[in-house]
Amino acid sequence: MPEQQTFKLDSKTIPFRDGDTIMDAALRAGEYIPHLCHNPEFTPHGSCRVCVVSANGRHVSACTQQAMNDMEVDNRSDAIMDKRRNLLQMLFVEGNHVCPGCEKSGACQLQAVAYYTNMLSPHYTHFFPKRSVDASHADIAIDFNRCILCELCVRASRDVDRKNIFSISGRGIKARLVINSDTGKLGDSDLTATDKAVHVCPVGAILPKHRGYDKPIGERLYDRQPVSQVGDVAAHDEDDNHG
């Protein structure tokens, strides 16, 4: 049999298979690397960069970088955590995230990763963009203020639901999530409440109607365990996804 391939993650030996990314191998070994746009059900995207690590001295995204034998990966140094905090601070100020009043608080992956990295203030000047809320759908509402452009809903709708309901339009500061319907409204699309795209949002952008705030603070997903132990929102049941 061929010799087992391994790399070092913060001095811990991590075995990997051919084709594994650093993220694949780390999660399989029970090692947490902070992330937002990554979901093991979809092809890695690398858009949020929160999973930045130093691999052999070079900064890469763990979700897209292929694992290599004898690689040395830094996942937890002060320098790496500081880079993640900066990325998270920028995500918080470019949208309108009001955690105390958000029904996703306590079950929001963005919020949980911010706490994990000790990001306790936004640091940068808030953009306060003027974004809409689309409540035209009978069962689902979408709050564009909370969207972090992770494209999980885009990938889920395209690759699993086979509907292509969501896409990203524009570039840079003008990039935004759009609805692919004749009117641009969610209610005029063929989205259904059971679609995968409805259940993958790591923040509070896509929410079911008629059941908001149905879990008290203190009993929500990341109230019970930190994100490093729980993992992705989408890996848990529907109550935790939207509680």
> What does the DSSP assignment read for 196-214?
GGGG--SSSSEEESS-TT-
The Cα–Cα gap between 191 and 6 comes to 43
The yes-or-no verdict on residue 238 having pLDDT over 80 is no
Listing DSSP states for 153-186 in one string gives: HHHHHHHTSS---EEEESSGGG-EEEE-SSSS-G
- 154 token code pair: 């885009």
**pLDDT at site 233:** 66
Q: How far apart are CA 78 and CA 29, in angstroms?
A: 23
- Mean pLDDT calculated for residue range 18-37: 96
Residue with tokens 């004898």: 70
List, in order of start, the domains of the chain with CATH numbers: 5-76 (3.10.20.740), 87-223+237-241 (3.30.70.20)
* Whole-number pLDDT of residue 2: 66
Is pLDDT above 90 for 230?
Answer: no
pLDDT category at 241 given cuts 50, 70, 90 is: very low
Q: How far apart are CA 20 and CA 227, in angstroms?
A: 22
CB distance 15 to 27 below 8 Å: no
Poorest-confidence range of 125-129, 177-181, 228-232?
Answer: 228-232
| pLDDT of 45 over the 90 cut | no
Q: Where are the alpha helices (DSSP H) in 5-103?
A: 22-28, 78-94
Average pLDDT over residues 68-93: 97
Q: Are 207 and 172 in contact (CB under 8 A)?
A: no
Closest CA to 65 of 20, 35, 123: 20
- Average pLDDT score over residue span 159-186: 95
Q: Is the pLDDT of residue 237 over 90?
A: no
Average pLDDT score over residue span 58-77: 97
pLDDT for 235 beyond 70:
no
User: What pLDDT score was predicted for residue 211?
Assistant: 85
Q: What is the mean pLDDT of residues 17-45?
A: 94
Nearest one of 155, 132, 124 to 47, comparing CA atoms: 155
Q: What is the pLDDT of residue 1?
A: 54
Q: What residue has token string 């809320």?
A: 133
pLDDT confidence of residue 240: 47
Using an 8 Å Cβ cutoff, are 23 and 67 in contact? no
How far apart, in whole angstroms, are the C-alpha atoms of residue 9 and residue 31?
9
Residue 243 has pLDDT above 70, yes or no: no
Query: How does pLDDT run across 101-135, given as a tens digit for each residue?
Result: 899 999 999 999 999 999 988 899 999 999 999 99
SS3 142: strand
pLDDT at residue 242, as a whole number = 38
CA gap 139, 231 in Å, rounded? 27
The rounded distance, in Å, linking the Cα atoms of 167 and 185 is: 13
pTM (global) more than 0.85: yes
